[in-house]
Amino acid sequence: MTGEIAVLVGTRPEIIKLAPVVHACEKTGIPCSIIHTGQHYSETLDAVFFEQLELPEPAYNLEVGSGPHGEQTGKMLIGIERILRQENPEVLLVQGDTNSVLAGALAASKLEVELGHVEAGLRSFDRQMPEETNRILADHVAEYLFAPSQQSKDHLLAEGIDSDRISVTGNTIVDALEQYRSVAQQQSTILEELDLTANRYFLMTAHRQENVEDTKRLGSILEGVAATAADYNLPVVYPVHPHTQQQISEFEISVPDRIRLIKPCEYLDFLRLEAEAKLILTDSGGVQEEACILGVPCVTLRNSTERPETLAVGANELAEPQPESLAESIDRMIAKSGDWENPFGDGQASKRIVQTVVSQPLQVEP
Ligand code: UD1
Ligand code: UDP
C-alpha cells in the first residue's frame, strides 16, 4: 500500500460517497486501496453496493460489526492503526461522520499518515448526535479538509481551522448521482415490482439513533407519517434500516397499513424510488442531499440538519413528527415546483479531492 491512497469505508453512505473517489483514482492510475471497518456487514447495507458501484474488494476488512459506541470505535482504532503501521499509505481518506470516520481519523493522526476528510465542515450544532462529535473531531485532526460548500468552509474557519487546509470541492454525492441517475432510470424495475405509480407515493427512511431508540418518538413518527399520507390518499414506501426494524420488533410497534416496509434497497432501485416520489420523508443526511439534487421535495424528521443548504434553496423543511406539524410541512413542500438550484457542486468533487492529495494535475473542469 506504500505511496497509495487508502480509502476507509464502514457504512452504506461511505461506500456510496467514496465510490466516485475510488473510480477517479482508477481512471488516473493513482494507486488506491479500500480498508473496510465492517461497521456495516449485512448484505443489503454493504456487499450490494460494492457490486453495483463496481468497487474492488477491500484490501482489508476488520469485521468489527455492531456494538456500543466506545467498544465499536475502539476495535476499529486498534485494527486501523495496525494496518496503517504495516502498509504506510501516504494518505487516509475518510468520509462523513460515522464511528468508522472517528476511528480512522484518530489512528491516522497518531501516525505519519496524512488524513483527508471528505465532507468536512458539516455542523448540526446538536451535540446530542454522535455524528456531530465524530465530524468535529475528524475535522480538527485532518490535513486536508474537503468542504462540500462555502457554508461548510465557513464553519471550519469559525472554529479556527487554517484556510490553507480547506478546499471547497462540492459533494461527491453529485458525482455519484451523475454517474448512476440515468442508469437507475433505465435499469431499475422497482416501481413495477412494488406496483407503484410515479408521483403517487411518499418515500420514507428513518434510522437515526435519536429517532429509533425512543419508542414514543418512533411510534409517533410512524403514526404521523401515516396520518398525513392518508390525507393525500397515497402509500408510503419505507425501505427499513435493520436497526429500525429491530427497534420496531423490540418495542412491539404495530406499523400502520399505509406504510409499506420493504428491505433496504440497492442503490439503483433507491435512486429510482427517490426520483419518482411525490415527496421524501427522511432523517438521513445523504437522502436530504439526493432529494435536493433530484428536485424532489423533502421533509426531514429531525430538529436540526447539517445540510442547511437544502433549507436555504427551499428543497427541504425540518418537521416534528406530530401529524399537525408534519401535515403543514408536507403541504408547503408539495406545493413547490422542484426547480431550486443544486447547492452541492458540479460533479467534479472526486477529481478535485484526488488531485489535491496527489498534488499532480488531473483533468478537472473549472
Ligand atoms: C451508522 C452511523 C450513522 C449513519 C448510518 C448509515 C454511527 C454512530 N452511526 O448508523 O451516522 O447515518 O450508519 O446507515 O456511526 N445493523 C445490522 N446490520 C448492519 C449494521 C447494523 O443489522 O450491517 C444493526 C445492528 O443491530 C446495529 C444497529 O443496526 O446494532 C446500528 O448499527 P450502527 O452501525 O451502530 O449504526 P447505524 O444505525 O447503522
Ligand atoms: N440508500 C440506498 N438504499 C436504501 C436507503 C438509502 O441505497 O434503502 C442510499 C441513499 O441513496 C443514500 C445513502 O444510502 O445515498 C444514505 O445512507 P443512510 O441514510 O444510511 O446514511 P446517512 O446519509 O444518513 O449517513
CB 293 within 8 Å of CB 344:
yes
59 CA to middle of ligand 2, Å?
A: 24
Dihedral sign for Cα 137, 140, 146, 148, please: positive
Q: Which residues are near ligand 1 (CB < 6 Å)? A: 11-13, 39-42, 45, 66, 97-99, 130-131, 207, 242-243, 246
C-alpha–C-alpha distance, residues 77 and 237, integer Å: 37
What are the angstrom distances between the C-alpha of 82 and each of 39, 108, 143, 149?
17, 11, 21, 34
**Which residue among the candidates 69, 207, 241, 243 is catalytic per the annotation?**
207
Q: Which pLDDT belongs to residue 85?
A: 97
361 CA to middle of ligand 2, Å?
A: 32
C-alpha–C-alpha distance, residues 212 and 209, integer Å: 5
Nearest CA to ligand 2 atom 13: 13
Ligand 1 atom closest to Cα of 208? 38
Q: Which pLDDT belongs to residue 321?
A: 81
98 CA to middle of ligand 1, Å?
A: 9
Q: Which pLDDT belongs to residue 323?
A: 81
Q: Which pLDDT belongs to residue 324?
A: 86
CB 283 within 8 Å of CB 206:
yes
Q: What is the pLDDT along the chain (366 residues), one digit of tens a residue?
A: 556 999 999 999 999 999 999 999 999 999 999 999 999 999 999 999 999 999 999 999 999 999 999 999 999 999 999 999 999 999 999 999 999 999 999 999 999 899 999 999 999 999 999 999 999 999 999 999 999 999 999 999 999 999 999 999 999 999 999 999 999 999 999 999 999 999 999 999 999 999 999 999 999 999 999 999 999 999 999 999 999 999 999 999 999 999 999 999 999 999 999 999 999 999 999 999 999 999 999 999 999 999 999 999 999 999 988 888 899 999 999 999 999 999 999 999 999 999 999 975 555 554
Run of H or E including 356: helix 349-358
Dihedral sign for Cα 50, 244, 232, 311, please: negative
Q: Which pLDDT belongs to residue 361?
A: 54
Ligand 2 atom closest to Cα of 49? 7
Q: Which pLDDT belongs to residue 366?
A: 44
| 179-186, Cβ contacts within 8 angstroms, sequence gap of 24 or more | 179/20, 179/23, 180/53, 180/267, 180/268, 180/271, 181/271, 181/275, 181/294, 183/268, 184/267, 184/268, 184/269, 184/271, 184/272, 184/275, 185/272, 185/275
Radius of gyration of the chain (CA): 20
**What sections of 130-198 are H helices per DSSP?**
130-141, 150-158, 172-187, 190-193
Q: Which pLDDT belongs to residue 11?
A: 98
Predicted TM-score (pTM) of this structure: 0.97
Domains and CATH numbers, the chain: 5-171+345-358 (3.40.50.2000), 187-334 (3.40.50.2000)
Q: Which pLDDT belongs to residue 363?
A: 53
CB 330 within 8 Å of CB 299:
yes
